[in-house]
């Protein structure tokens, strides 16, 4: 088990556009294992590779409740369809610690991706799953959920996070 350090806002790395994965091999599977360990350790439900500093189009998620485990792996995910009906969810992010906001997103979406074994898969997502996959896919484009907020709200959050950082000793 390898728990990696999660990068937090403000950090330029989080604004980078991640690159497609050419082949799902041992190295990519190891990365997915580490990402999952890191996500579980931080009590998150989703993590994109760029959040541990690796600009690859890889996401791990687990939205199972009550201590059950249901890990999901998405390599090179592409959204094929988005429902015009929006849904509002309170979102947080491991890279934006302790900040939450209500965000509107398409309530359903269809996603094509490669799984842990490099096999092509199609997922019809709704509810929390749809919100989570769209949030994580934003990371691949360098977008954070706070980008959907007003400029004022966003700058207040970034100020708070910067303060938090300068008060934390790097060990």
Residue whose CB is less far from Zn ion, 87 or 118: 87
- Say which of 9, 28, 91, 136 is annotated catalytic: 136
| Strands annotated E in 43-163 | 46-48, 58-61, 72-82, 86-93, 96-106, 108-114, 120-126
Known active-site residue 98 = no
Shortest separation between residue 160's beta carbon and Zn ion, angstroms: 17
Residue whose CB is less far from Zn ion, 118 or 128: 128
| 6 lines the binding site for Zn ion (CB under 5 A) | no
- Whole-Å CA distances, 66 to 60, 62, 63, 143: 19, 12, 10, 30
- CA dist 29 and 73 (Å) reads 10
Residue whose CB is less far from Zn ion, 42 or 118: 42
| 93 lines the binding site for Zn ion (CB under 5 A) | yes
Q: Which residue is nearest to Zn ion (CB)?
A: 93
SS3 25: coil
Select the span of 3-11, 85-93, 102-110, 152-160 touching Zn ion (CB under 5 A).
85-93
Shortest separation between residue 46's beta carbon and Zn ion, angstroms: 7
Count the residues of the shown chain that bind Zn ion, applying the rule CB under 5 A.
Answer: 1
Q: What angle do CA 129, 132, 135 make, to 5 degrees?
A: 150
Q: Report whether 134 contacts 109 (CB < 8 A).
A: yes
Binding stretches for Zn ion (CB under 5 A): 93
């Amino acid at each position: 088990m390898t728990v990696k350090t999660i990068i937090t806002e403000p950090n330029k790395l989080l604004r980078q556009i991640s690159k497609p994965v050419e082949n799902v091999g041992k190295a990519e599977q190891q990365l997915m294992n580490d990402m999952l360990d890191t996500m579980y350790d931080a009590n998150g439900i989703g993590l994109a590779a760029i959040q541990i500093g690796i600009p690859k189009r890889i996401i791990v998620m687990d939205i199972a409740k009550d201590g059950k485990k249901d890990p999901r792996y998405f390599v090179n995910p592409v959204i094929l369809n988005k429902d015009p009906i929006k849904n509002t969810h309170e979102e947080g992010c491991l890279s934006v610690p302790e900040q939450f906001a209500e965000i509107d997103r398409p309530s359903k979406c269809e996603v094509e991706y490669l799984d842990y074994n490099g096999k092509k898969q199609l997922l019809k997502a709704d509810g929390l799953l749809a919100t989570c996959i769209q949030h994580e896919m934003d990371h691949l484009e360098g977008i954070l959920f706070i980008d959907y907020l007003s400029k004022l709200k966003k700058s207040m959050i970034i100020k708070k996070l910067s303060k938090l950082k300068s008060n934390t000793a790097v060990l």
